[in-house]
Amino acid sequence: MLLGATLLFHTTLNYMEENIEDFETVPLPPKKIKKISTNNPIIQVNAKDRDSWTLVEFATGKTLQISEAEAEAKKWGQASWDLGFSRTKIISNGGKTNPSGQTGIINLGPIDFDNIKTAPTIGYVQDHRSLGNLINKELAGWYNYRTRTHNIESKRNVYALKLNNGLFMKMRILNYYCAQPESACRSMMCTREEAACLTIEYIVTEPGSNVFTPPDAHLAENIQSPEKIIE
Q: pLDDT tens, 43-77? A: 999 999 989 999 999 999 999 998 888 887 777 77
79 lies in a domain? yes
At residue 184, the pLDDT reads 66
15 lies in a domain? no
**By three-state DSSP, how is residue 228 classified?**
strand
30 lies in a domain? no
Instruction: State which residues form the domain around 105.
Output: 41-215
10 lies in a domain? no
199 lies in a domain? yes
Cα 30 to Cα 57, 180, 184, 185, 226, distances in angstroms: 37, 17, 11, 12, 29
At residue 22, the pLDDT reads 35
At residue 148, the pLDDT reads 75
At residue 126, the pLDDT reads 97
What's the CA angle centered on 116, arms 115 and 120, to 5 degrees? 160
24 lies in a domain? no
In this prediction, the residues of the chain whose per-residue pLDDT falls under 50 are: 13, 15-31, 33, 217-231
Burial bucket for residue 63 (CB in 10 Å: 0-12, 13-18, 19+): middle
6 lies in a domain? no
Q: Pick from 179, 188, 178: which is nearest to 151 by CA?
A: 188
Q: Domain tally for the chain?
A: 1
At residue 94, the pLDDT reads 94
- 168, 204 contact by CB (below 8 A): yes
197 lies in a domain? yes
At residue 39, the pLDDT reads 78
